[in-house]
Amino acid sequence: MNGPLTVAAPAKLNLFLHVGDKRGDGYHDLESLVAFAACGDEIALESHDDLFLTVDGPFGVGVPTGEDNLALKAAKLFAERTGAAGGARISLRKNLPVASGLGGGSADAAAVLRGLTRLWQRELNRNELCRMAASLGADVAVCLDSVTAWMEGRGECVRALPPLPRTGVLLVNPGVPVPTAQVFAALGVRRGLNLRAPKSGFEDVHTLVRYLRETTNDLEAPAKTVAPLVGELLQVMNALPDVLLARMSGSGATCFGLFANEYVASAAARLLRTRHPQWWIVESTFTDGS
């Protein structure tokens, strides 16, 4: 092989997230429309005698490189289950803020599973791969394919949906890491589970936004108690020119804004950067497939 094998780990967005009851395993049942943005972490894999991880990139400082990193944990599990004898050098470029509701760690783990399948030429059957992904974390299964999906269960029941219409997407993180478990622990009122997956795709961004207006992210309220800056961020994003919808993703603190196209999203990004130069602000689009 010439050079390392590269795998994208796109940012996950929960366009809505309804939380149901707490289950026996300590997790909550969910229903969520999950989309992926055309930005994310990057993984490079090279054959090596040992199996190890290096991390760099704008958000790489302080990211663990041992087994408490989900990407390395995923690699070890994959090696164990497939009986692969070789090693790999896994280089992770962390472009996404950590503990930010964008599923970065989950996307990294899923990208490692996809990449090692190719590097080591060891294929697990689909069910086994999905089970392995789900055992690593609630969001890992949906990141295996990184396509628009309907998510249920604690996150492990994933059904692909048609690609989303052209949309300008703005991602903003105010720089506070928000641990998912803390947000779930602060959960009070929740909408509960009451939707079915849409039968067909959304015609255009306005149809999508009309649909999303009937939904919520049940984790927004508890995230605001854990990180009050989330409330301020949402107010700022809702006041942006041409924004069609602003909402938090996952357990926060990253919020996304949806716009008619990428040009108005970019204009909003420029405006926001002048007012909040310390925030992480990225304009993007939806993507299907990494």
The residues annotated with a catalytic role in the active site are 12, 139
Taking a C-beta distance cutoff of 8 angstroms, is the pair 16, 33 a contact?
yes
Q: State the Rg of the chain over Cα.
A: 18
Residues 22-41 touching ligand C5P, rule: CB under 6 A, are 27-28, 30
DSSP 3-state assignment of 273?
A: helix
Residues 183-202 touching ligand C5P, rule: CB under 6 A, are 184
DSSP 3-state assignment of 180?
A: helix
Q: Is 18 in the site for ligand C5P (CB under 6 A)?
A: no
x/- map, 135-174, ligand C5P, by CB under 6 A: --xxx--------------xx-------------------
Q: Is 115 in the site for ligand C5P (CB under 6 A)?
A: no
Shortest distance, position 27 Cβ to ligand C5P, whole Å? 4
- Closer residue to ligand C5P, CB minimum distance, 69 or 180: 180
List CB contacts of 2: < 8 A, sequence separation 6 or more: none
Shortest distance, position 10 Cβ to ligand C5P, whole Å? 17
Rounded distance, CA 154 to CA 147, Å? 18
- Taking phi over 0 as left and psi of -120 to 50 as alpha, with beta for the rest, 262 belongs to alpha
How many residues sit close enough to ligand C5P to count as binding (CB under 6 A)? 11
Q: Side chain identity at 242, as an amino acid letter?
A: D
Shortest distance, position 243 Cβ to ligand C5P, whole Å? 28
- Closer residue to ligand C5P, CB minimum distance, 5 or 186: 186
Give the interface segment with ligand C5P, choosing from 42-50, 72-80, 121-129, 134-142 (CB under 6 A).
134-142
Shortest distance, position 25 Cβ to ligand C5P, whole Å? 9
Taking a C-beta distance cutoff of 8 angstroms, is the pair 255, 248 a contact?
yes
List CB contacts of 177: < 8 A, sequence separation 6 or more: 97, 98, 99, 100, 253
Q: Residues interacting with ligand C5P, by CB under 6 A?
A: 27-28, 30, 137-139, 154-155, 180-181, 184
